[in-house]
Protein backbone atom coordinates (compact mmCIF):
# COMPACT_ATOMS: atom_id res chain seq x y z
CA UNK A 1 0.00 0.00 0.00
CA UNK A 2 1.43 3.32 -0.88
CA UNK A 3 0.24 6.86 -1.05
CA UNK A 4 1.66 10.26 -1.76
CA UNK A 5 1.14 13.67 -0.31
CA UNK A 6 2.69 17.00 -0.91
CA UNK A 7 4.18 19.14 1.76
CA UNK A 8 5.23 22.72 1.79
CA UNK A 9 8.67 24.01 2.66
CA UNK A 10 8.36 27.70 3.23
CA UNK A 11 9.80 29.60 6.14
CA UNK A 12 10.98 28.62 9.58
CA UNK A 13 9.21 29.87 12.68
CA UNK A 14 11.85 29.92 15.38
CA UNK A 15 11.76 27.04 17.78
CA UNK A 16 8.85 25.17 16.23
CA UNK A 17 9.34 22.10 14.11
CA UNK A 18 6.33 19.98 14.98
CA UNK A 19 3.54 18.94 12.63
CA UNK A 20 1.51 21.93 13.73
CA UNK A 21 4.40 24.16 12.74
CA UNK A 22 4.38 22.70 9.25
CA UNK A 23 0.65 23.08 8.88
CA UNK A 24 0.76 26.55 10.36
CA UNK A 25 3.43 27.70 7.94
CA UNK A 26 1.60 26.05 5.10
CA UNK A 27 -1.74 27.57 5.94
CA UNK A 28 -0.25 31.01 6.46
CA UNK A 29 1.63 31.01 3.20
CA UNK A 30 -0.89 29.33 0.93
CA UNK A 31 -4.30 30.22 2.32
CA UNK A 32 -3.03 33.25 4.23
CA UNK A 33 -4.96 32.05 7.24
CA UNK A 34 -3.31 32.43 10.63
CA UNK A 35 -3.68 29.48 12.97
CA UNK A 36 -2.64 29.35 16.58
CA UNK A 37 -0.21 26.58 17.43
CA UNK A 38 -2.07 24.07 19.53
CA UNK A 39 -0.53 21.77 22.09
CA UNK A 40 -2.17 19.15 24.19
CA UNK A 41 -0.10 17.68 26.99
CA UNK A 42 -0.72 14.74 29.24
CA UNK A 43 -2.65 12.51 26.87
CA UNK A 44 -2.57 8.74 27.36
CA UNK A 45 -2.29 5.90 24.93
CA UNK A 46 -5.19 6.79 22.68
CA UNK A 47 -3.97 6.79 19.10
CA UNK A 48 -7.17 5.18 17.84
CA UNK A 49 -9.20 7.88 19.49
CA UNK A 50 -6.93 10.55 17.99
CA UNK A 51 -7.51 9.04 14.55
CA UNK A 52 -11.29 9.20 15.10
CA UNK A 53 -11.08 12.83 16.23
CA UNK A 54 -8.81 13.61 13.29
CA UNK A 55 -11.45 12.25 10.93
CA UNK A 56 -14.07 14.48 12.54
CA UNK A 57 -11.77 17.52 12.28
CA UNK A 58 -10.95 16.76 8.67
CA UNK A 59 -14.64 16.25 7.85
CA UNK A 60 -15.28 19.79 9.10
CA UNK A 61 -12.01 21.02 7.60
CA UNK A 62 -11.13 22.25 11.09
CA UNK A 63 -7.44 22.93 10.54
CA UNK A 64 -6.79 24.15 14.05
CA UNK A 65 -8.24 21.04 15.66
CA UNK A 66 -6.45 18.73 13.23
CA UNK A 67 -3.17 20.53 13.90
CA UNK A 68 -3.53 19.91 17.61
CA UNK A 69 -4.33 16.27 17.01
CA UNK A 70 -1.16 15.81 14.92
CA UNK A 71 0.79 17.27 17.82
CA UNK A 72 -0.96 14.87 20.17
CA UNK A 73 -0.12 11.91 17.96
CA UNK A 74 3.57 12.91 17.91
CA UNK A 75 3.50 12.94 21.71
CA UNK A 76 1.80 9.54 21.78
CA UNK A 77 4.60 7.98 19.70
CA UNK A 78 7.42 7.23 22.12
CA UNK A 79 10.30 7.66 19.65
CA UNK A 80 9.19 11.03 18.31
CA UNK A 81 8.08 12.28 21.70
CA UNK A 82 11.46 11.49 23.27
CA UNK A 83 13.22 13.48 20.55
CA UNK A 84 10.87 16.46 20.58
CA UNK A 85 12.63 18.39 23.34
CA UNK A 86 15.96 18.20 21.50
CA UNK A 87 14.70 18.31 17.94
CA UNK A 88 16.30 21.65 17.00
CA UNK A 89 19.66 20.47 18.25
CA UNK A 90 19.20 17.13 16.49
CA UNK A 91 18.40 18.70 13.13
CA UNK A 92 21.15 21.30 13.44
CA UNK A 93 23.70 18.48 13.34
CA UNK A 94 22.83 17.44 9.78
CA UNK A 95 21.15 20.58 8.44
CA UNK A 96 23.49 20.63 5.42
CA UNK A 97 22.00 17.29 4.37
CA UNK A 98 18.45 18.44 5.09
CA UNK A 99 19.08 21.51 2.93
CA UNK A 100 20.88 19.73 0.13
CA UNK A 101 19.06 16.42 -0.34
CA UNK A 102 16.77 15.78 -3.28
CA UNK A 103 15.66 12.32 -2.23
CA UNK A 104 15.35 11.20 1.39
CA UNK A 105 14.26 7.72 2.39
CA UNK A 106 13.10 7.16 5.97
CA UNK A 107 13.09 3.48 6.93
CA UNK A 108 10.94 2.58 9.96
CA UNK A 109 10.05 6.27 10.05
CA UNK A 110 7.16 6.10 12.53
CA UNK A 111 5.77 9.62 12.95
CA UNK A 112 9.13 11.32 12.39
CA UNK A 113 7.87 13.00 9.14
CA UNK A 114 5.51 15.08 11.30
CA UNK A 115 8.59 16.63 12.92
CA UNK A 116 10.89 16.77 9.89
CA UNK A 117 11.82 20.39 9.00
CA UNK A 118 10.44 20.37 5.46
CA UNK A 119 10.64 24.16 5.50
CA UNK A 120 14.45 23.87 5.47
CA UNK A 121 14.62 21.12 2.85
CA UNK A 122 14.82 23.52 -0.03
CA UNK A 123 15.99 21.00 -2.63
CA UNK A 124 13.83 18.07 -1.60
CA UNK A 125 11.82 16.37 -4.34
CA UNK A 126 10.85 13.13 -2.63
CA UNK A 127 10.55 11.99 0.97
CA UNK A 128 9.97 8.24 0.91
CA UNK A 129 8.62 6.68 4.14
CA UNK A 130 8.50 2.96 4.85
CA UNK A 131 7.00 1.57 8.06
CA UNK A 132 5.01 -1.54 8.85
CA UNK A 133 3.07 0.25 11.60
CA UNK A 134 -0.53 0.76 10.45
CA UNK A 135 -1.38 3.47 13.01
CA UNK A 136 1.51 5.72 11.97
CA UNK A 137 0.44 5.21 8.38
CA UNK A 138 -3.17 6.11 9.19
CA UNK A 139 -2.05 9.34 10.85
CA UNK A 140 0.28 10.30 8.00
CA UNK A 141 -2.50 9.51 5.51
CA UNK A 142 -4.73 12.02 7.32
CA UNK A 143 -1.90 14.54 7.32
CA UNK A 144 -1.88 14.07 3.56
CA UNK A 145 -5.64 14.63 3.38
CA UNK A 146 -5.33 17.89 5.27
CA UNK A 147 -2.67 19.18 2.91
CA UNK A 148 -4.62 18.12 -0.15
CA UNK A 149 -7.80 19.80 1.12
CA UNK A 150 -5.98 23.04 1.78
CA UNK A 151 -3.90 23.07 -1.37
CA UNK A 152 -5.16 25.66 -3.85
CA UNK A 153 -7.31 23.63 -6.21
CA UNK A 154 -7.01 25.97 -9.15
CA UNK A 155 -4.56 25.63 -11.99
CA UNK A 156 -2.27 27.89 -9.95
CA UNK A 157 -1.43 25.02 -7.61
CA UNK A 158 1.05 23.62 -10.09
CA UNK A 159 2.74 26.97 -10.39
CA UNK A 160 2.87 27.41 -6.60
CA UNK A 161 4.28 23.91 -6.23
CA UNK A 162 7.14 24.63 -8.57
CA UNK A 163 7.82 28.01 -6.99
CA UNK A 164 8.03 26.57 -3.50
CA UNK A 165 9.57 23.23 -4.48
CA UNK A 166 6.96 21.27 -2.55
CA UNK A 167 8.28 17.75 -2.13
CA UNK A 168 6.29 14.64 -2.87
CA UNK A 169 5.93 12.41 0.15
CA UNK A 170 5.53 8.74 -0.61
CA UNK A 171 4.23 6.38 2.05
CA UNK A 172 4.79 2.61 2.02
CA UNK A 173 2.95 0.88 4.84
CA UNK A 174 4.89 -2.37 4.75
CA UNK A 175 8.05 -4.04 5.97
CA UNK A 176 11.10 -2.94 3.96
CA UNK A 177 11.62 -6.60 3.11
CA UNK A 178 8.62 -6.42 0.73
CA UNK A 179 10.48 -4.92 -2.23
CA UNK A 180 13.94 -4.59 -3.67
CA UNK A 181 15.50 -1.26 -2.76
CA UNK A 182 15.37 -0.06 -6.37
CA UNK A 183 11.60 -0.55 -6.37
CA UNK A 184 11.32 2.14 -3.68
CA UNK A 185 13.30 4.74 -5.64
CA UNK A 186 14.51 5.20 -9.17
CA UNK A 187 17.48 7.43 -8.28
CA UNK A 188 19.88 6.83 -5.42
CA UNK A 189 18.70 8.65 -2.26
CA UNK A 190 20.89 11.49 -1.00
CA UNK A 191 20.02 10.71 2.58
CA UNK A 192 18.86 7.46 4.17
CA UNK A 193 17.33 7.81 7.64
CA UNK A 194 17.39 4.86 10.03
CA UNK A 195 16.42 6.62 13.24
CA UNK A 196 16.34 4.27 16.23
CA UNK A 197 15.73 1.44 13.79
CA UNK A 198 18.93 -0.63 13.69
CA UNK A 199 18.76 -1.92 17.31
CA UNK A 200 15.10 -2.93 16.75
CA UNK A 201 15.92 -4.89 13.60
CA UNK A 202 19.10 -6.32 15.15
CA UNK A 203 17.16 -7.71 18.11
CA UNK A 204 13.85 -8.66 16.54
CA UNK A 205 14.36 -9.30 12.80
CA UNK A 206 18.03 -10.24 12.47
CA UNK A 207 17.30 -11.94 9.13
CA UNK A 208 16.65 -8.47 7.67
CA UNK A 209 19.82 -6.78 8.89
CA UNK A 210 21.86 -7.52 5.76
CA UNK A 211 19.17 -6.09 3.53
CA UNK A 212 19.12 -2.97 5.71
CA UNK A 213 22.91 -2.67 5.51
CA UNK A 214 22.87 -2.97 1.73
CA UNK A 215 20.63 0.04 1.01
CA UNK A 216 22.04 2.38 -1.64
CA UNK A 217 22.38 6.04 -0.64
CA UNK A 218 24.96 8.80 -0.60
CA UNK A 219 24.67 9.34 3.15
CA UNK A 220 23.15 7.14 5.82
CA UNK A 221 22.12 8.33 9.28
CA UNK A 222 21.82 5.63 11.95
CA UNK A 223 20.81 6.51 15.49
CA UNK A 224 19.94 4.79 18.76
CA UNK A 225 18.60 5.67 22.20
CA UNK A 226 20.88 6.51 25.10
CA UNK A 227 18.30 5.56 27.70
CA UNK A 228 15.89 2.67 28.07
CA UNK A 229 12.20 3.49 27.69
CA UNK A 230 11.81 3.70 31.46
CA UNK A 231 14.86 6.06 31.54
CA UNK A 232 16.21 4.01 34.39
CA UNK A 233 19.06 2.46 32.50
CA UNK A 234 21.80 3.93 30.34
CA UNK A 235 21.82 1.71 27.27
CA UNK A 236 24.19 3.77 25.09
CA UNK A 237 27.07 1.30 25.35
CA UNK A 238 24.92 -1.68 24.38
CA UNK A 239 23.29 0.22 21.53
CA UNK A 240 26.64 1.48 20.30
CA UNK A 241 27.94 -2.08 20.06
CA UNK A 242 25.02 -2.92 17.79
CA UNK A 243 25.47 0.22 15.68
CA UNK A 244 29.19 -0.55 15.24
CA UNK A 245 28.47 -4.10 14.07
CA UNK A 246 25.88 -2.75 11.68
CA UNK A 247 28.26 -0.09 10.34
CA UNK A 248 30.84 -2.79 9.69
CA UNK A 249 28.23 -4.74 7.72
CA UNK A 250 27.49 -1.68 5.56
CA UNK A 251 31.19 -1.32 4.65
CA UNK A 252 30.73 2.46 4.99
CA UNK A 253 32.84 5.07 6.75
CA UNK A 254 31.74 7.22 9.66
CA UNK A 255 31.86 10.85 8.58
CA UNK A 256 30.15 12.51 11.55
CA UNK A 257 28.86 11.77 15.01
CA UNK A 258 25.40 12.90 16.06
CA UNK A 259 24.69 13.48 19.72
CA UNK A 260 21.79 14.82 21.76
CA UNK A 261 20.68 14.42 25.36
CA UNK A 262 18.98 11.07 24.74
CA UNK A 263 19.94 9.95 21.22
CA UNK A 264 23.23 9.35 19.45
CA UNK A 265 24.26 8.15 16.04
CA UNK A 266 26.54 8.26 13.06
CA UNK A 267 26.46 9.67 9.61
CA UNK A 268 27.95 7.25 7.11
CA UNK A 269 29.05 7.65 3.51
C1 LIG B 1 11.88 2.74 17.49
S2 LIG B 1 10.73 3.17 16.23
C3 LIG B 1 11.56 4.55 15.43
C4 LIG B 1 10.60 5.46 14.72
C5 LIG B 1 11.27 6.66 14.04
N6 LIG B 1 12.31 6.25 13.12
C7 LIG B 1 11.84 7.62 15.05
O8 LIG B 1 13.03 7.53 15.38
O9 LIG B 1 11.08 8.47 15.54
C10 LIG B 1 11.00 1.85 15.06
C11 LIG B 1 10.03 1.88 13.89
O12 LIG B 1 10.44 0.87 12.97
C13 LIG B 1 9.29 0.25 12.43
N14 LIG B 1 9.67 -1.07 11.91
C15 LIG B 1 10.11 -2.14 12.63
N16 LIG B 1 10.40 -3.16 11.79
C17 LIG B 1 10.15 -2.73 10.53
C18 LIG B 1 10.25 -3.32 9.24
N19 LIG B 1 10.68 -4.57 9.07
N20 LIG B 1 9.90 -2.58 8.16
C21 LIG B 1 9.45 -1.30 8.31
N22 LIG B 1 9.33 -0.70 9.50
C23 LIG B 1 9.67 -1.40 10.60
C24 LIG B 1 8.31 0.24 13.59
O25 LIG B 1 6.98 0.10 13.14
C26 LIG B 1 8.59 1.59 14.26
O27 LIG B 1 7.76 2.59 13.73
Who's near 238: CB < 8 A, 6+ residues apart?
none
| Distance from the alpha carbon of residue 34 to the mean position of ligand 1, in angstroms | 34
Nearest protein CA to atom 25 of ligand 1, as residue: 133
Pocket test for ligand 1, best of 18, 80, 110 (most atoms within 8 A of CB): 110
| Distance from the alpha carbon of residue 228 to the mean position of ligand 1, in angstroms | 16
Query: Global pTM?
Result: 0.83
> Per-residue pLDDT tens for 15-40?
344 554 555 444 433 322 222 222 23
> Per-residue pLDDT tens for 224-243?
999 987 777 899 999 999 99
> Per-residue pLDDT tens for 81-112?
999 999 999 999 999 999 999 999 999 999 99
| Cβ proximity of 166 and 157 under 8 Å | no
Query: From 3.40.720.10, 3.40.50.150, 2.30.130.10, 3.30.450.20, which CATH number describes the 2-268 domain?
Result: 3.40.50.150
Strands 168-172 and 191-194: unpaired
Residues having CB within 6 Å of any atom of ligand 1: 79-80, 108-110, 112, 130-133, 136, 175-177, 195-197, 200, 205, 208
**If we measure between CA atoms, which residue out of 35, 53, 33 comes closest to residue 43?**
53
Check residue 170 and give its pLDDT.
Answer: 92
| Distance from the alpha carbon of residue 32 to the mean position of ligand 1, in angstroms | 36
| Distance from the alpha carbon of residue 79 to the mean position of ligand 1, in angstroms | 9
Domain locations along the chain? 2-268
Amino acid sequence: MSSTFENNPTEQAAGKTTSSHLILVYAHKITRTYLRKYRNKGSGDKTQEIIKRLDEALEKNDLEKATGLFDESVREHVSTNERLEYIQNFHSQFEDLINGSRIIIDIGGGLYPLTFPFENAMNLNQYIWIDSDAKSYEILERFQKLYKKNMPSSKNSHQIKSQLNIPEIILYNESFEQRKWNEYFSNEPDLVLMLKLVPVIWRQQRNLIEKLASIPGKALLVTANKESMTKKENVAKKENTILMKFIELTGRNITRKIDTQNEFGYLLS
